[in-house]
Chains A and B, each alone.
Chain A
Amino acid sequence: MTAQTFYNPASIAELLDVLDKFKEKVVIVNGGTDVVERLQTGRVAPPPDAIMYIRNVAELDYIREENGHVAVGGITSYAEMLSSPLCRQFGGLMQALAEIGSPPIRTIATPAGNIGTAAPAADCNAALMALGASVVLASKTGERALSFEELFSGPQKTCLRRDELIREIRIPVNKTATSAFIKLAKRKAQDIAQVSACVCLEAEGDVCKNVVVSLGAVAPVTVRARSMEALIVNKTVDDAVAAVRGFVPSEASLRSPRNKAYKEAVIGVIVGRAIKKAHAETAGRK
């Protein structure tokens, strides 16, 4: 049966009450770009008793810098982030945002929503992971923070409890790091990544000192590729690019035989390009 009740809370407190009451029997609609279609085709499990639209909770709509991070509210859209001067410092994030869907999708879709959906190919998730972002989860019993590495538990699955809301995304400000995002898709617009990579880099001159590499669409969840990072650290950019070329990180678990060889062939290529791009930005800053 279809949902019988519609909630349109105006505050976080009201929102959390509904979540607490219905738990897995309420579906949260944020941007709705994914979940509304699944509601129509009956692909929301278990079938919900209620739908809660959270876009009118004004206290969740913000982008601000505080305590050494940029905080993005739970209903803030991709379009708002794209036009935010605060987000502009995260090159990889901006590049990922520009690759998401098309302008009408970005107008309404949200990073919090896509985190909840936990699609392994989600462009923004890869960028946020590389940038060391975390999420703040709120429930009636309090708040907790999870890093992106802890967040995803399986394909389309997160570690969120059913009474929890993604209240905020925190992206640490790191003035010494630069980042870059690269995505390969089947066509040039409005397409899901075949493979994506985000590299967050701290370099001294031409030498990569600290690096985080995240990969999209190479495993059931967005992954951090520490095995690649190990190949990059303390190498010059050129050596690092050469080292990752052709390398298939152990964090990738490619099952579909159709795309396995392709993805394996290009992971190193796009990580290498992302390293160069991130480094070029470092140079640009000086």
Chain B
Amino acid sequence: MSVEVTCTINGEQHVLPVEPAETLVESLRLRLGLTGVKKACGTGDCGACTVLVDGEALRSCILLTASMQGKSITTIEGLGTPDNLHPVQEAFVEAGGIQCGFCTPGMILTAKAMLDKNPRPSDAEIMEGLSGNLCRCTGYVKIVDSVHRAAEKMAP
């Protein structure tokens, strides 16, 4: 028996009929075609599927879509466009924080949620904030640089 969930996704209201045990990552990818949300582990361990729920970075592979009633969800598609990048996206592009790109959407959204709370994080705070997002390509150096760069761009 499906559940009807009304929520806001990337600024648009959606009414989704979903299965009780359906995860948000599956709903976003398969029902709405928001494939920027990546599924890499399915166990909440890697952070690739991170989305923003009411501004908080959460893992969509361990969230039930049925629990999203009334929530506002932002995926990477809702952050910026190629012609109008969000400063965090711009910073990752410029600072070389992207290699294969599979962890990138989750990394960017986690960084964005962190910067919204802490606009000028230290190295240690960046590392703590991104410690749940696995990247196998970069060695993280340029990801730390990207977040600093984003903080500079977002500074008032």
Contact = CB atoms under 8 A, between A and B. Distances in A.
Nearest to B20: A6
Contact of A33 (B44, B56, B110, B127): B44
A51 B57 contact: no
B45 interface: yes
Nearest to B128: A103
Contacts of B21: 2-3, 39-40, 51
B40 interface: no
Contacts of B43: 37
Given A8-B69, A32-B63, A40-B42, A102 B132 contact: yes
A55 interface: yes
A31 to B, nearest CB: 9
B20 A2 contact: yes
B114 A103 contact: yes
B84 interface: no
Interface stretch (A61-69, A84-92, A104-112, A162-170): A104-112
A55 B64 CA distance: 12
B16 interface: no
B119 interface: no
Q: Chain B: interface residue count, which band?
A: 20 to 34
A5 interface: yes
B96 to A, nearest CB: 23
Contacts of A5: 1, 20
B129 interface: yes
A103 B133 CA distance: 10
Interface string A90-121: 00000000000111110110000000000000
Contacts of B129: 103
A45 interface: no
B66 interface: yes
A104 B63 contact: no
A8 B68 CA distance: 10
B23 interface: yes
Contacts of B34: none
Nearest to A50: B20
B87 interface: no
A190 interface: yes
Contacts of B63: 32, 36, 108
A261 interface: no
Given A3-B20, A53-B64, A55-B67, A103 B44 contact: no
Nearest to B134: A190
Given A32-B64, A53-B67, A103 B132 contact: yes
A37 B44 contact: yes
B64 A36 contact: yes
Interface in A1-60: 2-6, 8, 29, 32-33, 36-37, 39-40, 50-51, 53, 55-56
A171 B9 CA distance: 39
Contact of A190 (B45, B56, B62, B66): B45
A126 B61 CA distance: 28
Given A3-B21, A37-B42, A51 B64 contact: yes
B94 interface: no
A105 B57 contact: no
Given A5-B20, A36-B23, A104 B58 contact: yes
A188 B58 CA distance: 21
B44 A6 contact: no
Given A5-B20, A107-B56, A101 B66 contact: no
A190 B132 contact: yes
A215 to B, nearest CB: 25
27 contacts: A3-B21, A6-B3, A6-B64, A6-B66, A29-B67, A33-B44, A36-B23, A36-B44, A36-B63, A36-B64, A37-B61, A37-B62, A40-B21, A40-B42, A51-B20, A51-B64, A55-B67, A101-B132, A103-B57, A104-B50, A104-B56, A104-B132, A105-B132, A108-B63, A189-B127, A189-B128, A190-B131
Interface of B: 1, 3, 19-21, 23, 42-45, 47, 50, 56-59, 61-64, 66-67, 69, 110, 114, 127-129, 131-133
